[in-house]
Amino acid sequence: MQSACTYSREGIFNLWLKCMRSQNGECYIAQFVYFCVVQRTRILIIRFSSIGDIVLTTPVIRRLKEQLEGETEVHFLTKEAFVPLLASNPHITQVHSIRKATAEVIETLRELDFDYIIDLHKNVRSLMVKRDLRGLSFSFHKLNFKKWLYVNFGINRMPDTHIVDRYLDTIRGFGTEDDGKGLDFYIPAESEIDLNELPERFRSGYIAIAIGAAHIGKKMSTRLLSEVLKRINIPVILIGGPHDLDIADKVVREHETVFNACGKYTVMESASFIRQAQVVIAGDTGMMHIASAFGKCIVSVWGCTVPEFGMGPYRPHPSSVIVEPKKLKKRPCSKLGNRCKYGSENRCIIHNSPDSIAGAANSLYLIAQKEL
């Protein structure tokens, strides 16, 4: 089989066109990609935000790095705030970042002369990057129209496919195979939390509850959180950002077996609490996906969004549980969880049963303890 290095850039492009016009397109695309990867291949993956979406791209990163023939460099372009999520990933050659505009890094990216661009964001910014670089690009299909139909008319045309598998479908032409693994998340040593520094009751096992969320429709109310805690007889660590301090302080005063880690630790340090927990309770948030990466027993609590969007826990512990307010017929309320059809004070997530959430968490804790 002829090596890729014998083709000029124009020749490779012409071969690509032939592949796309062929009746046996996927076969020829796989052959074409083989031609191009037998020597050094440099790939740029684009996903600008957010925590969960970036974590969900990690199987794409891993499979490209581990399964392509020859030397493969995998680069990642994201926003500056999310660089720590990827900085310790051994499958990534270099993380590139922007504060506001792609113009900040475009010259550097041009100099790297990427062979392929994998666009897993597909927005105006990623379009600009693809326009300014010469590599062949593959783009993720966001299915926004199908989500719009589901949100506005209750018509569910979403495929029964997790978004991770749809991300992976973007690179199907590279011929990679399912490695049976889930998500990846790497915590640097300096961000690992030493549980011996916590009060003694939290050193022998605990449940982590991620109370933070970027959107109100994914966030438990103070009342629901308090009711859940009343029903849990196991130490609990609350995880969240500075905006969650008020809620956390209120419930901690009522429950002496609760440790408030909100706003006191970085995202990576919070991830360490997740990694060392026996059970994680979380909404449809980035922390839920980080828990999946560690194979945790998860109680995922849903509100204005729905698992049918394809964003549920990906390959978590098999005993994990999904809790939803099934009687609310207007769900889903919004694509991102930023709006609720029932109003923010009566939002969907607070209609979940505290008995269901706490009961699942207590049961999963026993399972996790037996597996230690």
pLDDT digits (tens, 9 = 90+) for 271-280: 999 999 999 9
- Whether the per-residue pLDDT at 118 is higher than 90: the answer is yes
**pLDDT interval class at 3 (50, 70, 90):** very low
User: Maximum CA pair distance of the chain?
Assistant: 71
Convert the pLDDT of each residue in 172-203 to its tens digit.
999 999 999 999 999 999 999 999 999 999 99
pLDDT category at 7 given cuts 50, 70, 90 is very low
Over range 105-132, report the average pLDDT: 97
> What pLDDT band is residue 34 in, cutting at 50, 70 and 90?
low
Among 240-254, 300-314, 351-365, whose mean pLDDT is lowest? 240-254
> Binning pLDDT at 50, 70 and 90, where does residue 33 land?
low
Q: Which two tokens stand for residue 63?
A: 């499979």
How is the beta sheet containing 94-98 ordered, strand by strand? 94-98, 72-79, 41-46, 116-119, 136-139
Q: Is the dihedral of CA 303, 304, 310, 313 positive or negative?
A: negative
Phi, psi at 187, each rounded to 5°: -105, 125
pLDDT in tens, 97-110: 999 999 999 999 99
Determine what percent of the chain is predicted with pLDDT higher than 70. 90
Domains and CATH numbers, the chain: 40-141 (3.40.50.2000), 204-371 (3.40.50.2000)
Backbone phi, then psi, for 347, in 5-degree steps? Answer: -60, 155
For the chain, give the mean pLDDT.
Answer: 92
Pairing relation of β-strands 136-139 and 207-210? unpaired
Beta bridge partners of 238: 209, 260
pLDDT of residue 120: 98
Position with higher pLDDT, 298 vs 8: 298
Q: Are 366 and 233 in contact (CB under 8 A)?
A: no
> 20-34, 71-85, 170-184, 199-213: which has the minimum mean pLDDT?
20-34
